[in-house]
Amino acid sequence: MAKEKTVYVCSNCGQDSPKWVGKCPSCGEWNTYVEEIVRKEPTNRRPVSGIETQKPKPVILSEIVADDEPRIDMHDDELNRVLGGGLVQGSLVLIGGEPGIGKSTLVMQTVLHMPEKRILYVSGEESARQLKLRADRLSGVSSDCLIVCETSLEQIYVHIKNTNPDLVIIDSIQTISTENIESSPGSIAQVRECSASILRFAKETHTPVLLIGHINKEGSIAGPKVLEHIVDTVLQFEGDQHYMYRILRSIKNRFGSTAELGIYEMRQDGLRQVSNPSELLLSQDHEGMSGVAIASAIEGIRPFLIETQALVSSAVYGNPQRSATGFDLRRMNMLLAVLEKRVGFKLAQKDVFLNIAGGLKVNDPAIDLPVISAILSSNMDAAIEPEVCMAGEIGLSGEIRPVNRIEQRIGEAEKLGFKRFLLPKYNLQGIDTKKLKIELVPVRKVEEAFRALFG
């Protein structure tokens, strides 16, 4: 007979306590503890999935065969790249994002392009008719995908046993519940137990599982933090609903890099892969406009050119404002301090607004030079030539530090027709300038860069 007890669990971080407390001692949030009824099951019970497996035995490390993991082609170049080359057998992948951003659309679109695989799509949020209407709108390849609307974990395992699928999709993990716990679906205990049970199933049967998850108001995955620890890969699907671009990022990946980025364009008939984001992000004509600089950035293995926009104006309401969209505000304040101390530009009494065009968030330090160039361009109201591109990290003493993979950055700028490229002087070593059609302008300090740009 299962024993029952009541515990209080923090809905923010998952910390439990035998009694209710106002402030969580783990995450510091107030009034986040909710009551949960936990049933302690006998240790000799059968696994929830109903699949009996042999108990593992210790193996000598040198005897373990470490071949490359066989991967499933998702027929989507952007998704394959973010996953690290495809979906690994027996892996558990979590896709999170805001409501209405396109998580279910992305997964359904991928399913429709995999007719060679037997796929079980478990929907806990939508009816079969709603899924059919979405599939018709996406107009993909006709697929023999199996659809079941179910929220009970035990019944899901029955359907898996009967159909023996190659891939299982669960939409969403917050709607699934197990009978072993008497709390409501989406609670801390239910999400933790269901995800742990699904992980055991995936590893024991080598069946890959895709989970779709909700996010909270802070933008992180909803539910206990242990959910992100359990899964093999966490993908964040983000973007502004007012823009048509969507970005797929890898936050955690046990089988690939977390620096990869996939870009999609939201259309009426689904998500279109953007294979060349540079042309997309530089679609606006900015000739003769001040405060615009073109940066050559790299995310993962992909170089692309982005537009850095800045606006500098006199502060009217006392304290000057500092605002950055898509760029680290603290780093922008550091660059402004370098401009004032090392170069002599007085920006202390001016409002400075910075924006990375296209809704991108960029962490590449190589866009330091374009950022301060755009700020000075706006401050002096002098436009930068439209055929100039640049990359460089700024040090605290005003020097321009070298950046990685400079050949790829130069090649992307040359491919898009740029005539001049500002780069750190140290990066010029080892580059064969004879083969290049673009003029390279090496700069060592911030003052040299400004003389090259503004004369």
To the question of whether residue 104 is assigned a binding role by annotation, the answer is yes
To the question of whether residue 100 is assigned a binding role by annotation, the answer is yes
Q: Which residues contact 183 (CB under 8 A, 6 or more apart)?
A: 36, 37, 177, 189, 190
To the question of whether residue 55 is assigned a binding role by annotation, the answer is no
Report the sign of the C-alpha dihedral through residues 411, 413, 419, 422, in that order: negative
Measured distance CA(164)–CA(41) in Å, rounded: 28
To the question of whether residue 152 is assigned a binding role by annotation, the answer is no
> CA of 247: how far to CAs of 110, 160, 261, 340, in Å?
16, 32, 7, 35
To the question of whether residue 425 is assigned a binding role by annotation, the answer is no
To the question of whether residue 98 is assigned a binding role by annotation, the answer is yes
Measured distance CA(86)–CA(61) in Å, rounded: 27
Cis before 26? omega within 30: no
Give the 3-state secondary structure of 255-314.
Answer: CCCCCCEEEEEEECCEEEECCCHHHHHCCCCCCCCCCEEEEEEEECCEEEEEEEEEEEEE
Q: Which helix (H) or strand (E) holds 135?
A: helix 128-138
To the question of whether residue 161 is assigned a binding role by annotation, the answer is no
Q: Which two tokens stand for residue 447?
A: 């003052």
Q: Would you say 306 and 358 are in contact if contact means Cβ atoms under 8 Å apart?
A: yes
> CA of 234: how far to CAs of 212, 358, 438, in Å?
10, 24, 40
To the question of whether residue 270 is assigned a binding role by annotation, the answer is no
Cβ neighbours, 10 Å, residue 159: 15
* C-alpha closest to that of 189 among 177, 198, 201: 177
Which residues contribute to the annotated binding site for ATP? 97-104
Which residues contribute to the annotated binding site? 97-104
